[in-house]
Structure formats: structure tokens, C-alpha cells
């Protein structure tokens, strides 16, 4: 489907097949098209071209209330004068469900989000995280085929956001409803999702499991957007038996590949895959000399930023439990050797 606003193409011919019962995240920076895509599924926007099938039925042209979906927004939009129970039951009331039945379903939904026993309280008596749970219960009580979540945790502080991530995944597993989740926070998407669609400039750069996206990014953009990645430019020198040898200028890299790249390529190495040894010495394949720029303690790990002879910055992250005395004692200006195995480099693109 495609969505244009005048001359601006917000969503550019994406083809997305969402599996029943999965937790799928649309991940990307502001303006990448993820929220517009969600709004088209919800019915708040109509595609310029293309179709939207929900349960095998074309939903293009249908208003939101006639689609078998429900949406949870970042802002809770609870009725302040109503009790929590009445807030949750409101959609059922509008649908004409009998009072006894809708109250029973509302109580069940509150129990699902761990707010049982608080049904008669008002929204003002609840924290932000609790109000977001009420909004979630209000959406779930309608039993939609698909639940759409538009950055629902964006207004919460870090600790509360982490707690709600766990709760959302638990609830999705318990109810078995398809969740489509929009976020710009990569840690949210990676921790909760069955699959992640990484978006840029209205297109899907990669759609895969969090593990595959982290370990096998399809492009330099995805590699840089998901986690940290050291990226080098080099020229392919040889490809033999699934191993490619790449000349970086200041050293040589060998990497395991399933194809045969040629010419100039980009090579990515995650910081946690790089080993640091203090001092200079003879260099081998997958090893370079560098100078320490800075060393930072990050709680459970130590991050060391180094510079190659040509000025290229390389970051290495060492788990504190595995850090040796040489790494702990490194200072700016110290000479080190960086090394990695041939499974660490990822050949990203020509």
C-alpha cells in the first residue's frame, strides 16, 4: 500500500503480511511512515493505492468503528468523571451489550491487566502506568482481531516503561490477539516482538525476527539503527569456501558469507564481538592496532572507544565479569590490539 499527502510519499508501496496471533513492531525514526501505516490499518487514513485485508476482507474505505481492530494511543483518553470499570465497559455500552454482561467482561479485562479490586476508582487516582493498563483493558474488552498500539509507553518513565513491556508481552501471550506495535525505541521492539519491520523513508528495510535483524542486518541502515555497529569500508580480495577476505587498508578481515561479494563493500562488527589486548605486537588476520580515545564504565560492561591509524573510530564493549586487568586499566593514548573471530564481521553492502 502507498499513502501520499500531496507531493509527500509517507508510505511507499509496502507489502506487509501480518501473521495471526503475532506481536509485530513497526520500528523507525520520526517521519519514517510507521504511524501512517498504523493509521491506515486502523482506518483513520485511507491508502492512496493498494489494499488492506483484515481477516481476508478488504477494509479500504471502511471507517474505524466498522473494522475488527482497536487502537491504544500514547495518551490514555480516559473519561475523568467515570469509574475505571465504566471506562473499560464504555465501548461495550456503545455496542448495545447488556449491563450485566458488559460489567462482567470489564471486570475480566481489569483482571487481565492486574487491576482487579480497583474498578470503582477514578482515573485521577491512578499512576500513568496504571492508566495505560486501563486503556489497554478498554481496547481488549472489545475482543478485536487486531490490537494496534501507537507508542503507548512513550509518556512513561524508564522503569515504568520496562515494567509495561513485560506486561504487554504477557498479556499478548495470554489473549492470543495479533498486536501491531509502533515505536521508535529499538529496545522496546527487540524485547517484545516476534518480528520487527524496520522502516525508513516510507519503506520496510527489513522484516524479520529480532535475533535475525541484530545478527544479520540486511543493510548498513539497519545495522546502524539496531544497536551499535562499527562500520568499515574495504575491498574484496578473495572469496574461497564461504570465506571472504577484505582489505581495510590498515588490516585484513575474513568473514563467513553465504554469497560472493565483489568490489568495495561495507563491513560491520558489533562492539561486543571485539576483543581488546593491551600493547603492540605482530598483526594477523582479523586484528588491527589502535589507540585508546576514552574508556567508560557502563555498569555491567566497559566501553572502550579507540582510533585506528587513519582516524576511524572503533568501539569495543567488554563484559565487566570477563574484563581483564589490562582493559580495566586502559587510559587515553594507550596502544591496543583489536581482534575478532571470522564469525563476527557482517558484509553489509557494496
The answer for residues whose C-beta is within 8 angstroms of residue 26's C-beta and 6 or more apart is 34, 37, 38, 180, 181, 182, 183, 197, 199
Q: How many domains does the chain have?
A: 2
For residue 325, what pLDDT is reported? 47
| pLDDT at residue 326 is higher than 70 | no
In sequence order, the β-bridge partners of residue 266 are: 233, 349
Per-residue pLDDT tens digits for 265-283: 888 999 999 999 988 876 7
Domain termination site, one of 222, 252, 267: 222
CATH of the domain at 178: 3.40.50.300
Per-residue pLDDT tens digits for 31-89: 999 999 999 999 999 999 999 999 889 999 999 989 999 999 888 889 999 999 999 99
Domain termination site, one of 187, 222, 257: 222
CATH of the domain at 344: 2.40.50.140
Integer CA distances (angstroms), 225 to 44, 176, 186, 214, 222, in order: 28, 30, 8, 10, 5
For residue 323, what pLDDT is reported? 52
Mean pLDDT, residues 178-199 taken together? 95
* Domain housing 177: 3-222
Q: Do residues 160 and 297 both lie within one domain?
A: no
For residue 350, what pLDDT is reported? 61
Q: Do residues 143 and 288 both lie within one domain?
A: no
Amino acid at each position: 500500500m502507498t499513502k501520499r499527502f500531496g507531493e509527500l510519499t509517507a508510505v511507499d508501496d509496502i507489502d506487509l503480511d501480518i501473521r495471526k496471533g503475532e506481536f509485530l513492531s513497526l520500528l523507525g525514526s520520526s517521519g519514517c511512515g510507521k504511524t501512517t501505516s498504523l493509521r491506515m490499518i486502523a482506518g483513520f487514513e485511507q491508502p492512496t493505492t493498494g489494499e488492506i485485508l483484515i481477516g481476508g476482507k478488504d477494509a479500504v474505505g471502511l471507517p474505524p468503528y466498522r473494522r475488527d481492530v482497536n487502537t491504544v494511543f500514547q495518551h490514555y483518553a480516559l473519561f475523568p468523571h467515570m469509574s475505571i470499570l465504566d471506562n473499560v465497559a464504555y465501548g461495550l455500552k456503545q455496542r448495545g451489550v447488556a449491563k450485566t454482561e458488559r460489567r462482567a467482561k470489564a471486570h475480566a479485562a481489569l483482571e487481565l491487566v492486574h487491576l482487579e479490586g480497583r474498578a470503582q476508582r477514578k482515573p485521577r487516582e491512578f499512576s500513568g502506568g496504571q492508566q495505560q493498563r486501563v486503556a489497554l483493558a478498554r481496547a481488549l474488552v472489545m475482543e478485536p482481531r487486531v490490537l494496534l498500539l501507537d507508542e503507548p509507553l512513550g509518556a512513561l518513565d524508564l522503569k515504568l516503561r520496562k515494567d509495561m513491556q513485560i506486561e504487554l508481552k504477557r498479556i499478548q501471550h495470554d489473549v492470543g490477539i495479533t498486536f501491531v506495535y509502533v515505536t521508535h525505541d529499538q529496545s522496546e521492539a527487540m524485547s517484545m516482538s516476534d518480528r520487527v519491520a524496520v522502516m525508513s523513508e516510507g519503506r520496510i528495510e527489513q522484516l524479520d525476527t529480532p535475533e535475525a535483524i541484530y545478527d544479520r542486518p540486511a543493510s548498513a541502515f539497519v545495522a546502524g539503527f539496531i544497536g551499535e555497529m562499527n562500520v568499515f569500508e574495504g575491498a574484496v580480495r578473495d572469496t574461497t569456501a564461504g570465506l571472504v577476505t577484505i582489505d581495510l587498508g590498515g588490516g585484513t578481515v575474513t568473514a563467513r558469507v553465504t554469497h560472493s561479494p565483489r568490489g568495495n563493500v561495507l563491513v560491520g562488527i558489533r562492539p561486543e564481538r571485539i576483543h581488546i589486548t593491551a600493547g603492540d605486537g605482530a598483526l594477523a588476520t582479523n586484528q588491527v592496532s589502535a589507540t585508546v580515545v576514552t574508556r567508560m564504565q557502563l555498569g555491567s560492561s566497559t566501553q572502550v572507544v579507540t582510533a585506528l591509524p587513519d582516524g576511524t573510530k572503533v568501539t569495543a564493549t567488554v563484559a565487566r565479569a570477563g574484563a581483564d586487568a589490562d582493559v580495566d586499566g586502559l587510559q587515553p593514548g594507550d596502544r591496543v590490539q583489536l581482534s575478532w573471530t571470522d564469525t563476527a564481521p557482517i558484509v553489509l553492502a557494496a
